[in-house]
């Protein structure tokens, strides 16, 4: 059984009168609460759509600091959702309904709320109900009533709190004064990441998550207004000390992008990352020697990680292009790997010819899921175990790509063919020329990778 609020449901188009200040609103709501009486809640049978959206609200409730979640729907589509963030934000007003309403206002404006339906896991409190009325929300559906929840908010306690608020207002203090910049960094990065989920490639999104949710943990409990350039600089220094200059610079870029979004959302006036230093990165030129290649190949086992390393070396492709390879991207009949634009760094379709050695590796993989190897590969663990067996100078998986390119060059493969294999866009394929020059080098690429694979066999021998 669900409940609908008749006050909202009877006239979805009714709008509260215009008031000139928040203080006036507080006075009006408090006065109404102090004098109103009579039932405002009626039960009704839930429709299929109500049940669908209520399930979403209950899912939000499971994520809340307290078990309250909310979904706002319009034209059978969710336009905002939220859950209780009272503890996370150190904000007593961050009820699920308030969080969802604030997000809807930020994302769509007030017009989207007028006439919309709000679904919430529990009957709204006085504060949330006031916001619902003033936003012109047309209908409220909740799962549990106040008595079922066991809330302290009864008519009597609501009137008492209303009188207390009236006293605060009479003293010249606005009890609801709270700037958007007081929202915590930890709470806002979740909304930011949700926005970025569809616009970023999966690998980039994972990196953003890692930077903001792991590296930036010291900022999570701080309000945006409390984070200044010095705070960011200290964090970047710590990351550089622990993880190196590259990690520092990647975090710096991610933080700067977050604050550009926060400024556009009206959450902040300044970007505290501006003016912080960018660390110098040493360009890597590591190429494995033939002796190291021999040790590497002989040190590989029969596990999936070892076969990924073999393919990285044979094809010269990027780590995630091979590690997250899907069977739908493998065409053994045409002897190709075909990567869609969303799977490549330069957002261009890339066809990788396969040598006989590479085909043999793919052919022996069991077809357990849509992924040839795994959706989530344990790179660090696999690499650490391999390093224990090899005992060679420090190297990275990306060095295999550079090694492949260097060895092909030494075998006489032309530079533009090597670039085609690596899916680089530079030189004769860059700029305007790249738009018109659609020449493909599938045959030459196949010959180059076959020549390199045969040479690798001779090194192993």
The pLDDT of residue 102: 96
More confident residue, 31 or 206: 206
Rounded Cα distance between 108 and 13, Å, is 18
Rounded Cα distance between 165 and 31, Å, is 10
Contact between residue 419 and residue 437 where contact means Cβ atoms under 8 Å apart = no
More confident residue, 296 or 39: 296
Is 196's pLDDT higher than 60? Answer: yes
Please pick, among 97, 188, 240, 419, the residue that the annotation labels catalytic.
Answer: 97
Is 39's pLDDT higher than 60? Answer: no
The pLDDT of residue 179: 47
Q: What is the pTM of this model?
A: 0.47
Quick check: helix, strand or coil at residue 63? coil
Range with the poorest average pLDDT among 285-299, 323-337, 430-444: 430-444
Residue-wise pLDDT tens digits, 151-166: 555 556 666 767 776 7
Is 349's pLDDT higher than 60? Answer: yes
Phi, then psi, of 232 in degrees rounded to 5? -65, -45
The pLDDT of residue 16: 43
Q: Which residues contact 244 (CB under 8 A, 6 or more apart)?
A: none
Mean pLDDT of the chain: 82
Range with the poorest average pLDDT among 12-21, 323-332, 446-455: 12-21
The pLDDT of residue 166: 72
Positive/negative CA dihedral, 162, 165, 167, 172: negative
Residue 97 catalytic? yes
Q: Which residues contact 405 (CB under 8 A, 6 or more apart)?
A: 316, 418, 421, 422
């Amino acid at each position: 059984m669900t409940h609908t609020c008749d006050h909202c449901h009877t006239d979805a188009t009714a709008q509260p009168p215009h008031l000139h200040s928040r203080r006036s609103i507080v006075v009006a709501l408090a006065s109404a609460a102090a004098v109103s009486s009579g039932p405002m809640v009626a039960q009704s049978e839930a429709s299929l759509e109500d049940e669908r959206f209520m399930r979403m609200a209950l899912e939000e409730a499971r994520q809340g600091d307290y078990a309250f979640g909310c979904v706002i729907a319009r034209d059978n589509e969710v336009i905002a959702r939220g859950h209780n963030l009272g503890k996370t934000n150190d904000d007593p007003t961050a009820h699920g309904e308030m969080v969802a309403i604030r997000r809807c206002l930020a994302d769509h404006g007030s017009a989207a709320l007028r006439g919309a339906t709000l679904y919430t896991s529990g009957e709204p409190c006085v504060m949330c109900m006031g916001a619902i009325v003033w936003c012109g929300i047309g209908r409220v559906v909740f799962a549990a009533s106040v008595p079922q929840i066991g809330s302290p908010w009864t008519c009597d306690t609501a009137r008492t709190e209303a009188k207390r608020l009236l006293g605060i207002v009479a003293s010249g203090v606005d009890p609801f004064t709270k700037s958007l910049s007081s929202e915590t960094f930890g709470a806002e990065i979740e909304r930011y990441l949700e926005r970025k989920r569809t616009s970023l490639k999966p690998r980039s999104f994972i990196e953003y998550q890692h930077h903001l949710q792991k590296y930036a943990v010291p900022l999570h409990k701080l309000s945006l207004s409390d984070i200044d350039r010095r705070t960011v600089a200290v964090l970047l220094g710590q990351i550089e000390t622990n993880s190196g200059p590259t990690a520092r610079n990647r975090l710096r870029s991610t933080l700067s992008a977050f604050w550009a979004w926060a400024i556009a959302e009206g959450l902040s006036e300044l970007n505290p990352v501006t003016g912080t230093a960018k660390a110098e990165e040493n360009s890597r030129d590591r190429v494995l020697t033939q002796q190291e290649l021999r040790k590497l190949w002989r040190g590989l086992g029969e596990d999936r990680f070892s076969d990924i390393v073999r393919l990285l070396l044979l094809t010269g492709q990027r780590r995630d292009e091979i590690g997250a390879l899907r069977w739908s991207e493998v065409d053994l009949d045409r002897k190709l790997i075909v990567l869609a634009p969303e799977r490549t760094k330069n957002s261009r379709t890339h066809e990788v010819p396969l040598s006989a050695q590479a085909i043999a590796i793919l052919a022996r993989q069991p077809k357990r899921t849509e992924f040839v190897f795994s959706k989530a590969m344990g790179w660090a663990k696999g690499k650490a175990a391999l390093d224990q067996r090899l005992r060679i100078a420090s190297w990275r998986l990306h060095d295999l790509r550079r090694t492949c390119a260097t060895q092909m060059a030494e075998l006489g493969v032309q530079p533009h063919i090597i670039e085609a294999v690596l899916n680089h866009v530079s030189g004769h394929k860059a700029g305007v020329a790249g738009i018109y020059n659609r020449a493909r080098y599938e045959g030459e690429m196949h010959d180059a990778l076959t020549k390199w694979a045969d040479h690798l066999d001779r090194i192993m021998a």
